[in-house]
Amino acid sequence: MTGKPQNAGAAALATDLHAPLTAHEAAVEADRCYFCHDAPCVTACPTDIDIPLFIRQIQTGNPAGSAATIFAQNILGGMCARVCPTETLCEQVCVRNEAEEQPVRIGQLQRYATDYQMATGEQPFQRAASTGKKVCVVGSGPAGLACAHRLALYGHSVTIIDRAAKGGGLNEYGIAAYKTVDNFASRELNYILSIGGIELQTGVALGTDKTLAQLKDEYDAVFIGIGLASVNEARLPGSELAGVRDAVEFIAQLRQTKDYSSLQPGRRVVVIGGGMTAVDAAVQARMLGAEDVTIAYRRGVERMNASQYEQELAQTRGVSIKCNLQPVAIAGDGAVNSIELEYTNDSGDGLAGTGETVVLPADTVFMAIGQAFDDGPLQGTALNLSQGRIEVDDERRSSDPAIWAGGDCIAGGEDLTVAAVQDGKLAAESIHRSLTA
């Protein structure tokens, strides 16, 4: 196996994707904002942050006030500034685009303000007096943390349970290392918990250590934010070979390991999939020293779930993206040495193979073909499911009046950190109204 030395890969993964703005750079960038009265960027923000206001506060030298404006709507504003596709949300509708100019770097300005406030260690909010009400939040990902913080702010006592060894959910285990350097997920988690009134219990699994029935007996309300715990199976000939790996697991291992040599992907890597996970796995494989990395996606480039920005990021890091290719079989003698793919035609009648195939050499094949909801922890409950996930109303309340849910585990849930935060916030507001009615 050849490639970059381990320390080179570690250094690359520890390097910020975007260098943070200095105070001067933030002031200059903030001055580019038109501060629109009917700002389209606010409408495009899933958490309804008053973007012109927080940028104005930066412009006037008030980053603490700016952070308070952001955190009032999105307590995970720091992570969202790092990982959310701002290029397809708030920045895409910036009016500067109409003049064929670069949009205001809203994400970078949001990071500047939230980083400033988190560095102080101080919350911009005061927790209300205790209400005597207890709420259990299942899952400590973005939805769960947003829900827990808002409920604690209102004076409720919150217990978060999570099956993992660490809190943070997706932010801790599912986001590429180069997007969240300097242990940011853990630092943000601690900052959120510092509001008080929140107890985090790790290593506690719903359905095994605690049932929903038990939680309903012990607490006044329950919020479920367990995400997508399963992955879709490849079911390909040769998928059992050494070197065929789950991309989600690879990313999680990278986030937790200090010994990158144990995760070296080899010289030639093929990633199957077209979403953010595929891009993250491919880019990190390149950073760890893989010489030839290819993303193979079964449909056309316009159907890829990874944004145009993410695609370009992969390509500028040396990743080749090949579309209209679907896997047929993986070959090797005990370990992977190649993968056969078939060209496809995505017509109006659906996806179909053309019969023409190509063989790509590979030491490692990462499967990034999507995650699935595991309803096992919900067995024995009467929760309604839709599209294979928990059915909720506009307030994120389930068919059981004592249970709310949000994030990827709900029907119609978007695969976006910022959307999960909004779910948790909306659920917390609904729970608060219910408990104080």
Homologous superfamily of 14-120: Alpha-helical ferredoxin (1.10.1060.10)
CA distances from 306 to 121, 275, 301, 338 (A): 34, 4, 9, 25
- Residue 244 dihedral angles phi and psi, to the nearest 5°: -90, 115
Q: Rounded distance, CA 380 to CA 342, Å? A: 43
| Assigned fold of 231-370 | FAD/NAD(P)-binding domain (3.50.50)
What does the pLDDT read at residue 5?
46
What does the pLDDT read at residue 2?
42
Hey, what long-range contacts does 206-213 have (CB within 8 A, 24 or more apart)? 206/138, 206/161, 206/163, 206/377, 207/376, 207/377, 207/378, 207/379, 208/163, 208/377, 209/161, 210/161, 211/380, 212/377, 212/378, 212/380, 212/381, 212/383, 212/403, 213/380, 213/381
How is domain 134-229+373-436 classified at the architecture level of CATH?
3-Layer(bba) Sandwich (3.50)
Tokens linked to 273: 């999939």
Residues 6+ positions from 19 with CB-CB distance below 8 Å? none
pLDDT average per 10 residues of sequence, the chain (437 residues) = 50 76 97 94 96 98 98 98 92 90 95 97 95 98 98 98 96 92 95 98 97 96 95 90 96 89 90 96 95 97 92 96 97 97 88 96 96 90 92 97 97 92 98 97
Q: Do domains 134-229+373-436 and 231-370 have the same CATH topology?
A: yes
| Residue 340, strand partner residues | 329, 359
What does the pLDDT read at residue 260?
81
What does the pLDDT read at residue 39?
95
Nearest to 15, CA basis, from 274, 284, 340: 284
Q: Rounded distance, CA 205 to CA 374, Å? A: 13
Q: Give the helix ranges, DSSP H, for 38-183.
A: 40-44, 51-59, 63-73, 77-83, 106-120, 142-153, 170-173
Three-state DSSP at 202 gives strand
Q: Rounded distance, CA 11 to CA 320, Å? A: 23
Boundaries of every domain in the chain: 14-120, 134-229+373-436, 231-370
